[in-house]
Amino acid sequence: MASSDPDSRLLLLMRHGKAETVAETDHDRPLAEKGRAQARLIGDYLESQGVRPSRVLVSDARRTRETWESVLSAMPGFDGRVTFHEDIYDGGPAEVLHLIRTRKDKHAVVMVIGHEPTMSTLSAHLADEESDPSSLAQARIGLPTGAMSVLSGSQPAWTGIDEESMTLHTIVRS
């Protein structure tokens, strides 16, 4: 995103790609090959749209870390900051929203890679009346694996993100 509006915020909320069903613990479940392909498609989409998150927040679960690696593989030259958070794995929408609100304002594009139902619930919670109706309906049902909500808002700071404060433009399915 190359916006001249310093108050423009773009939030990308992604559910991890399809994971294997068997692992020692849920936290250690790896991505299936389908999940890797889904994540690469999201990376291709971001690259084709010229959207580069400068801040990426990823659950510390194996499948979300591997999702990010696959998204990243389609974005050569990525130079943003990536951190891994137990709160995204263990927490719900309130914990993820707190993480988003505490981002530095210089980061106009923030991406979160997490789990259901948190990603869809947060997408629906943030969506305002200008949101795409079919995308909002999908968010209320739930995000399929490898899908990403694209929201934007005109807040001067991430601390201003709250219920119905962003427009849900689309849900990108891979």
Distance between first and last Cα of the chain: 21
Look at residue 49 in the predicted model and tell me its pLDDT. Answer: 95
As a whole number of angstroms, the distance between CA 106 and CA 6 comes to 9
Look at residue 174 in the predicted model and tell me its pLDDT. Answer: 84
Q: Which fold has domain 10-128+156-169?
A: Rossmann fold (3.40.50)
Residue 42 phi, psi (nearest 5): -65, -45
Look at residue 107 in the predicted model and tell me its pLDDT. Answer: 95
Residue segments in the chain with a per-residue pLDDT below the cut of 50: 1-4
**Six token digits for residue 113:** 């890679």
**Which of 89, 75, 112, 101 shows the shortest CA–CA distance to 158?**
101
- Helix ranges restricted to H, the chain: 33-49, 62-72, 86-90, 93-101, 118-126, 133-141
Q: Which residues pair with 109 in a beta bridge?
A: 10
Residues in the chain: 174
Residue 126 phi, psi (nearest 5): -80, -20
Instruction: Reduce the DSSP state of residue 106 to 3 states and report it.
Output: coil
How far out from the chain centre does Cα 21 lie? 22
Look at residue 111 in the predicted model and tell me its pLDDT. Answer: 98
Per-residue pLDDT of 57-106, as tens digits, reads 999 999 999 999 999 999 998 999 999 999 999 999 999 999 999 999 99
Look at residue 7 in the predicted model and tell me its pLDDT. Answer: 66
CA-based max dimension of the chain: 48
Reported pTM: 0.95
Are the CB atoms for 15 and 64 separated by under 8 Å? no
Strand-strand pairing, 109-114 and 9-15: parallel
Instruction: Reduce the DSSP state of residue 17 to 3 states and report it.
Output: coil
The domains of the chain are located at 10-128+156-169
